[in-house]
Amino acid sequence: MENHNHEAKTNQNYLCNSLPQVLVLEPPPVFKFHGDQLSKRFHFLKAWESPLPLHQYLTIHSQSVQALLSSGRNPITSEIIQLLPSLGIIVTPSAGLNHIDLQECRRRQISIVTAGTLYSEDVADLAVGLLIDVFRKISTADRYVRHGLWASQPDYQFPLGSKLGGKQVGIVGLGSIGLNVAKRLEAFGCNILYNSRQKRPSIPYPYYSDVCDLAAHCDVLIICCGLTDETRHMINKEVLLALGKKGVIINVGRGPIIDEKEMVECLVQGEIAGAGLDVFENEPCVPKELVQLDNVVLSPHKAVHSEETLMALCDLVVGNFEAFFSKKPLLTPLVDY
Amino acid sequence: MENHNHEAKTNQNYLCNSLPQVLVLEPPPVFKFHGDQLSKRFHFLKAWESPLPLHQYLTIHSQSVQALLSSGRNPITSEIIQLLPSLGIIVTPSAGLNHIDLQECRRRQISIVTAGTLYSEDVADLAVGLLIDVFRKISTADRYVRHGLWASQPDYQFPLGSKLGGKQVGIVGLGSIGLNVAKRLEAFGCNILYNSRQKRPSIPYPYYSDVCDLAAHCDVLIICCGLTDETRHMINKEVLLALGKKGVIINVGRGPIIDEKEMVECLVQGEIAGAGLDVFENEPCVPKELVQLDNVVLSPHKAVHSEETLMALCDLVVGNFEAFFSKKPLLTPLVDY
């Protein structure tokens, strides 16, 4: 009861200072970097800081909460939504919506705002960076120089890399990220091919309905699609063998899209030539075999981490919540979800 | 005298097997990777393998040598050329000609073949790869994952990178390499500015005649020019301070174009934000301060190292020598040198 009173008092104090209230269940990354800025505009009810069970915490604030900022990861279930009868808007910093019970939101006509394509350019930049790194051995060369081997091994010939121009690059999932990757790699003289659920009529690149067929025609596969039941372990041993001994795989999608065990085996056995990976099946755990290999580049799931994009996300969060609270049209509402 | 006889005999043997003779003073990299292929077409007189002093070695072969393959580094002086009265062609695997006495070649009407722009795409690819790496901390992230820190430090927030799109990128030296860098970075949404000896009328990018003025207008400087008396230490402390605390420098030109001591000082003091370096002032020695920094990416002067380009170089060497020996027009002769 003491906790209960404390929560109610805190809430009361903030209502007095008239900042609009936003519920947060778990802190999203934008909080770590722009928490101060956000807190000047809104009073955040930080559920994760409360010692109360979530159900009890939500019950206390059930009447006042009109807005919710999702972490983009933890589920916003129908149970949570039903505990918040005044909820009118959910803003999620994710591009996807898998974590939100959309049926309940539809029924209640709750507005939803996502990050949309805000991250596409950052992810595409990293995909291209990983590809150049694997092809031209940049991280390996950096280790070589840092360990003092350049100066101490005058007769050693650093291994040759590969040229990007003229390579067949297969993009798996030609959404906003895939199109941004394609645009960048065309400037390097790469030829783009793609696989996606459906052929896109307006796209000039050759389409392969079968990902194994795509792999057989490619020097590089770049995984840019989302994780669904259909894409889980879509990149299996058959696809990797079709990609072949000179083939390189880049993953900026989600770890489980690749059968990681098979990929590691293929890399160790030389059945494929290299990999650039921002995502893994069991993050933050990375298969120990990969750490020993010079033909892979390992990145800790940070494809969307740039200062500029996180600032843009902060603006998107603030702009949409401010529009909501002042009863103006939202800046970027999700339509027909 | 024993050596002398041995040389003469070896020479005699090869003349019998009728392969055309090509003199090599020091082995170029193409020799390490395609020596077998080259040796099927030509008999190479390998001066560096002979115990004789160079002058004596050349005197022995003076009448027979019509063709010379340069290493691209060691000087082809007027003294060497004068010892080879039958010399009709020099092929150098370099883009530049600083190491060849052109006056003597002109006087003797010796044909010259260079690599021309063969390397431009490889160098541009590496320049962009180094830039993405510095901006998005790819090598640093790879070290972080390999050292097991991602899994062992769950609360650590890997530092944010920077977005490429919208950045002002100043290219110093807008030749073939610089133009290839510009083409690639435009696809990332960067804005290109440039400095070169003269404004190029057909180029749409803003021109800055003063490199310090260019730096003051840029987030990134990419050094793509050659090393001359004018460009030595052109990137001095004043230019680096104009680039500023958020500025990044990429060097795929030559080490001495930057005042390395000042650059290291600026990096250590945080006067510039980062650097991606393929070249250094005293290669293969790299300033020890750089090895300690996470905001630099270090590459062992390997901008032109791709399998495809070295194969193309091999074809260029073979094609031009074969044309020369069969008295056909050279494939890629240097005109008006």
Nearest CA to CA, how far is A308 from chain B (Å)?
Answer: 6
**Distances in whole angstroms, Cα of residue A284 to Cα of each of A6, A226, A234, B152, B181:** 37, 19, 21, 9, 35
From B7, B61, B121, B254, the catalytic residue: B254
- Do B299 and A183 lie within an 8 Å CB cutoff? no
Chain A residues within an 8 Å CB radius of B184: 184, 187-188
- Which of A122, A130, A163 shows the shortest C-beta gap to B138? A130
The stretches of chain B forming alpha helices (DSSP H) are 2-16, 29-41, 54-60, 78-82, 102-108, 120-136, 138-146, 149-152, 176-186, 211-216, 237-243, 260-269, 288-291, 307-325
Shortest CA distance to A175 belongs to which of A208, A206, A197, A204? Answer: A197
d(CA A59, CA A47): 12
- Do A187 and B189 lie within an 8 Å CB cutoff? no
The stretches of A190-247 forming alpha helices (DSSP H) are 211-216, 237-243
Site from A30, A31, A33, A138 to mutate, B interface, most B CB atoms within 10 angstroms:
A138
Going by their DSSP bridges, the two strands B296-298 and B248-251 should be labelled as unpaired
From B217, B301, B305, B322, the catalytic residue: B301
Within 8 A by CB and 6+ apart from B179, the residues are B120
Ranges of residues in chain A with a pLDDT under 70 are 1-17
Within 8 A by CB and 6+ apart from B111, the residues are B88, B89, B90, B324, B330, B333, B334
What local confidence, expressed as pLDDT, does residue B1 receive?
A: 40
Interface ipTM above 0.85 = yes
From B79, B238, B283, B289, the catalytic residue: B283
What local confidence, expressed as pLDDT, does residue A304 receive?
A: 73
Shortest CA distance to A110 belongs to which of A173, A175, A66, A45? Answer: A66
- The string of DSSP letters for B288-331 reads HHHHT-SSEEE--S-TT-BHHHHHHHHHHHHHHHHHHHTTPPPS
A3-17: b (≥16 Cβ within 10 Å) or e: eeeebeeebeebeee
pLDDT tens across A233-252, in order? 999 999 999 999 999 999 99
Structure tokens that stand for A74 in this block: 């933890």
- Do A302 and B148 lie within an 8 Å CB cutoff? no
Chain A residues within an 8 Å CB radius of B126: 132, 136, 138
pLDDT tens across A115-148, in order? 999 999 999 999 999 999 999 999 999 999 999 9
Shortest CA distance to A253 belongs to which of A151, A124, A140, A159? Answer: A124
- Do B126 and A133 lie within an 8 Å CB cutoff? no
**For residue A273, how many other CB atoms are within 10 A of its CB?**
20
- Do B133 and A133 lie within an 8 Å CB cutoff? yes
Site from B73, B119, B137, B138 to mutate, A interface, most A CB atoms within 10 angstroms:
B138
**For residue B197, how many other CB atoms are within 10 A of its CB?**
12
B66-92: b (≥16 Cβ within 10 Å) or e: bbbbbbbeeebebebbebbeebebbbb
> Longest Cα pair distance anywhere in chain B, in angstroms?
75
> Longest Cα pair distance anywhere in chain A, in angstroms?
76
Answer for the pair B200, B186: CB distance below 8 angstroms, yes or no. no
What local confidence, expressed as pLDDT, does residue B32 receive?
A: 85
User: Nearest 10 degrees: CA dihedral of A264, A268, A269, A272?
Assistant: 60
- Do A125 and B141 lie within an 8 Å CB cutoff? no
- Do B29 and A306 lie within an 8 Å CB cutoff? no
- Which of B150, B160, B310 shows the shortest C-beta gap to A284? B150
Domains of chain A: residue spans and CATH? 2-116+308-325 (3.40.50.720), 120-298 (3.40.50.720)
For residue B301, indicate whether it is catalytic.
yes
- The string of DSSP letters for B129-162 reads HHHHHHHHTHHHHHHHHHTTHHHH-TT--PPPB-
Within 8 A by CB and 6+ apart from B213, the residues are B242
Catalytic residue numbers of A, as ranges:
254, 283, 301
What local confidence, expressed as pLDDT, does residue B17 receive?
A: 60
Shortest CA distance to B21 belongs to which of B330, B324, B311? Answer: B324
What local confidence, expressed as pLDDT, does residue B261 receive?
A: 98
Answer for the pair B72, B100: CB distance below 8 angstroms, yes or no. no
Paired residues of A258 in beta bridges: A235
Nearest CA to CA, how far is A296 from chain B (Å)?
Answer: 9
* SS3 at position A211: helix
- Do B298 and A130 lie within an 8 Å CB cutoff? no
* SS3 at position B16: helix
- Which of B125, B130, B138 shows the shortest C-beta gap to A188? B125
Structure tokens that stand for B27 in this block: 């082995």
Kindly identify which residue of chain B lies nearest to residue A312, measuring between CA atoms.
Answer: B163
- Do A183 and B184 lie within an 8 Å CB cutoff? no
Answer for the pair A217, A193: CB distance below 8 angstroms, yes or no. yes
- Which of A121, A143, A291 shows the shortest C-beta gap to B189? A121
Each residue's pLDDT expressed in tens, for chain B with a length of 337 residues? 444 555 544 444 444 468 999 999 999 888 888 999 999 999 999 999 999 999 999 999 999 999 999 998 889 999 999 999 999 999 999 888 889 999 999 999 999 999 999 999 999 999 999 999 999 999 999 999 999 999 999 888 889 999 999 999 999 999 999 999 999 999 999 999 999 999 999 999 999 999 999 999 999 999 999 999 999 999 999 999 999 999 999 999 999 999 999 999 999 999 999 999 999 999 999 999 999 999 999 999 987 779 999 999 999 999 999 999 999 999 999 998 8
Chain B residues within an 8 Å CB radius of A139: 133, 138-139, 142-143
What local confidence, expressed as pLDDT, does residue A17 receive?
A: 60
Structure tokens that stand for B213 in this block: 């003025």
